[in-house]
Amino acid sequence: MQFLRIATFALGLICSSAASLSFAQDISAKIQVCGACHGPDGNSKIVGTPSLAGQPKIFLENQMVMIREGMRDIPAMKGQLDGVSDAAIIAITQFYTSSPAISQAGPRNKSLFEKGQVISKEALCGTCHLPNYVGREQMPRIAAQREDYLLYSMRQFRSNQATGRDTIMSASLYGMSDDDLKAIAHYLSQLQ
Ligand code: HEC
Ligand code: HEC
Residues 121 and 84 in one domain: no
Q: How far apart are CA 15 and CA 188, in angstroms?
A: 37
68 and 116 in a single domain? The answer is no
Task: Specify if 103 maps to a domain.
Answer: no
Indicate whether residue 33 lines ligand 1 (CB < 6 A): yes
CATH code for the domain of 123: 1.10.760.10
Question: How far apart (Å, rounded) are the C-alpha atoms in residues 68 and 82?
Answer: 6
Pocket flag, ligand 1, residue 24 (CB < 6 Å): no
In a domain? residue 105: no
Q: What is the pLDDT of residue 170?
A: 80
- What is the amino acid identity at position 156? Q
Domain assignment of residue 138, yes or no: yes
- Given this model, what pLDDT does residue 18 score? 65
List the one residue out of 28, 23, 26 whose CA is nearest residue 7.
28
Look at residue 104 and tell me if it is in a domain: no
Residue 149 and residue 64 in one domain: no
Overall number of domains in the chain:
2
Q: CA torsion sign, 69 to 70 to 74 to 80?
A: positive
Q: How far apart are CA 154 and CA 161, in angstroms?
A: 10
User: Is there a single domain that holds both residue 150 and residue 173?
Assistant: yes
Residue nearest to atom 2 of ligand 1 (CA): 37
Question: Of 97, 118, 136, which marks where a domain is finished?
Answer: 97
Query: In this predicted structure, what is the pLDDT of residue 117?
Result: 98
Conformational region of residue 175, where left means phi above 0, alpha means psi within -120 to 50, and beta covers everything else: left
pLDDT of residue 56: 98
74 lines ligand 2 (CB under 6 A): no
pLDDT at 168: 81
pLDDT of 1 reads 57
Residue 162's pLDDT is: 82
The predicted model scores a pTM of: 0.95
Residue segments in the chain with a per-residue pLDDT below the cut of 50: none
135 lines ligand 1 (CB under 6 A): no
Pocket test for ligand 2, best of 169, 179, 182 (most atoms within 8 A of CB): 169
Atom 22, ligand 1: which residue's CA is nearest?
63
What integer pLDDT is reported at residue 98 of this predicted model?
Answer: 96
- The Cα–Cα gap between 38 and 80 comes to 13
Domain boundary among 97, 130, 153: 97
For ligand 2, say whether the CB of 125 is within 6 Å of any of its atoms: yes
Domain that holds residue 174: 110-190
Residue 176 lies in a domain: yes
Choose the final residue of a domain: 62, 97, 132. 97
Residues recorded for the chain: 192
Name the residue among 76, 10, 67, 6 with its Cα closest to residue 41: 6
Q: Are residues 81 and 21 part of one domain?
A: yes
What distance in Å separates the CA atoms of residue 126 and residue 140, rounded to the nearest whole number? 11
The amino acid present at 25, given as its one-letter code, is Q
Query: 60 and 10: one domain?
Result: yes
